[in-house]
């Protein structure tokens, strides 16, 4: 998690930033390996290309307009686990956050025009990607 986001959050809400865990490089690599095996890709670039292609785009959803993660996942018939992974960049900078915290503070975590993020849980059964322009794509295993 970028320090400036934590500082802005503390300044605005006068409370601690929601609890999160940053994965180590080794943990990120293990997670990437799991994703590649699950979705049958040989490298992370192929997965990223699919996630941000128009093929998986959800045209009716724009994250810039009152986006709620749980509502979006419910509409896609996905019941996320309590905690989710948030990938900030090429699957080498990943944090674990509480799903309810992301839902509540989404616009304090994701910054339009600068952040491309991917959110998924430990099941690796689904990935929702939110581009810097608000376009949302969704990939589900099986």
Query: Can you give the residue ranges of every domain in the chain?
Result: 18-140
Here the tokens at position 79 are 């019941």
- Asked if pLDDT for residue 89 goes beyond 80, the answer is yes
Query: Can you give the pTM of this predicted structure?
Result: 0.93
- Asked if pLDDT for residue 55 goes beyond 80, the answer is no
Edge-to-edge strands, sheet with 20-22: 20-22, 94-98, 83-87, 117-120, 126-130, 135-140, 57-62
Task: Identify the pLDDT of residue 66.
Answer: 81
């Amino acid at each position: 998690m970028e320090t400036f986001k934590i500082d802005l959050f503390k300044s605005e809400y006068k409370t601690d930033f929601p609890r999160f865990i940053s994965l180590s490089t080794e943990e990120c690599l293990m997670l990437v390996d799991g994703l590649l095996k699950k979705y049958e890709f040989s490298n992370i670039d192929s997965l990223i290309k699919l996630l941000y292609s128009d093929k998986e785009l959800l045209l009716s959803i724009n994250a810039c307009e009152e986006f709620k993660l749980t509502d979006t996942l419910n509409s896609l018939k996905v019941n996320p686990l309590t905690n989710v992974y948030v990938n900030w960049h090429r699957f080498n900078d990943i944090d674990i956050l509480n799903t309810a915290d992301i839902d509540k503070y989404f616009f304090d975590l994701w910054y339009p025009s600068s952040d491309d993020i991917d959110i998924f849980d430990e099941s690796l059964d689904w990935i929702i990607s939110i581009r810097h322009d608000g376009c949302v794509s969704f990939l589900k295993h099986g």
